[in-house]
């Protein structure tokens, strides 16, 4: 038996991915973690706290690429576990119909992702467990829905993602 690891067939090398990013849109999933009360109303919204390239604390959504051959549901599950930890216990939607779709461009004037043109399916996902941020997230901050819907929260996000958050939250019932 060989010790040579075979590359993940659903993933590209860094060089391949850079070339692809420059030539075609990349599919992502994003999730807005929420807490829900016993009547099914969303009470709080979870925002990941990350440090940007300038050393500033910024808010972020759960996000990640969809691998080749991976279902949307599996990509959502994988990225939730990657960003929130395995004890978050997200309750995935019955169907994989996103709350909204966001399209990011590598130039200003729209939603911005300087690296690429990306299309993101955005889901609102109730979380019942204890989120323990992983990867490059430092923490998760839970805020009331009303505060998350305010324009002041927009400044905490990069590239217009605060508007994506508000668009996703516009599809849910809250108090």
Quote the DSSP letter at residue 151.
G
131: nearest Cα among 55, 44, 56: 44
Tell me the pLDDT of the chain (175 aa) as tens digits: 444 445 565 667 878 777 777 778 889 999 999 999 999 999 999 999 998 888 889 999 999 999 989 999 999 999 999 999 999 999 998 888 999 999 999 988 788 888 889 999 999 999 999 999 887 889 999 999 999 998 888 889 888 899 999 999 999 888 7
Q: Which two tokens stand for residue 121?
A: 């399916």
pLDDT for res 1 = 44
Q: How many separate helices (H) and strands (E) can be counted in the chain?
A: 4, 7
Please answer whether residues 58 and 50 qualify as being in contact, where contact means their C-beta atoms are separated by less than 8 angstroms. yes
Q: Which residues face 63 on adjacent strands?
A: 30
Residue spans of beta strands (DSSP E) within the chain? 26-36, 42-51, 57-60, 62-65, 100-104, 118-126, 137-144
Please answer whether residues 24 and 68 qualify as being in contact, where contact means their C-beta atoms are separated by less than 8 angstroms. no
Q: What is the pTM of this model?
A: 0.86
98: nearest Cα among 32, 4, 2: 32
Residue pointed to by tokens 């995935």: 92
Quote the DSSP letter at residue 108.
T
Q: How far is CA 7 from CA 4, 10, 11, 13, 78, in A?
A: 9, 9, 8, 9, 18
pLDDT for res 2 = 43
pLDDT for res 123 = 97
Q: Are strands 26-36 and 100-104 parallel, antiparallel or unpaired?
A: unpaired
CA 174 to chain centre: 21
pLDDT for res 61 = 95
Which domains are seen in the chain, by residue range? 24-169 (3.90.79.10)
Q: Which residues face 50 on adjacent strands?
A: 58, 137
Please answer whether residues 47 and 76 qualify as being in contact, where contact means their C-beta atoms are separated by less than 8 angstroms. no
Angle at 158 between CA 102 and CA 100, to 5 degrees: 20
């Amino acid at each position: 038996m060989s010790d040579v690891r075979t590359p993940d067939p659903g993933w590209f090398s860094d060089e391949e991915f850079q070339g692809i990013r420059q030539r075609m849109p990349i599919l992502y999933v994003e999730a807005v973690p929420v807490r829900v009360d016993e009547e099914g109303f969303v009470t709080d919204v979870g925002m990941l706290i990350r440090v940007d390239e300038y050393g500033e604390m910024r808010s972020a959504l759960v996000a990640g690429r969809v691998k080749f051959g991976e279902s949307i549901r599996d990509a959502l599950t994988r990225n939730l576990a990657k960003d929130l930890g395995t004890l978050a216990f997200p309750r995935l939607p019955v169907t994989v119909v996103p709350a909204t779709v966001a399209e990011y461009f590598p130039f200003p004037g729209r939603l911005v992702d300087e690296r690429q043109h990306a299309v993101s399916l955005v889901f609102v996902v109730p979380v019942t467990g204890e989120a323990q941020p992983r990867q490059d997230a430092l923490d998760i901050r839970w805020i009331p829905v009303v505060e998350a819907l305010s324009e002041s929260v927009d400044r905490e996000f990069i590239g217009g993602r605060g508007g994506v958050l508000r668009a996703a939250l516009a599809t849910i019932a809250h108090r």
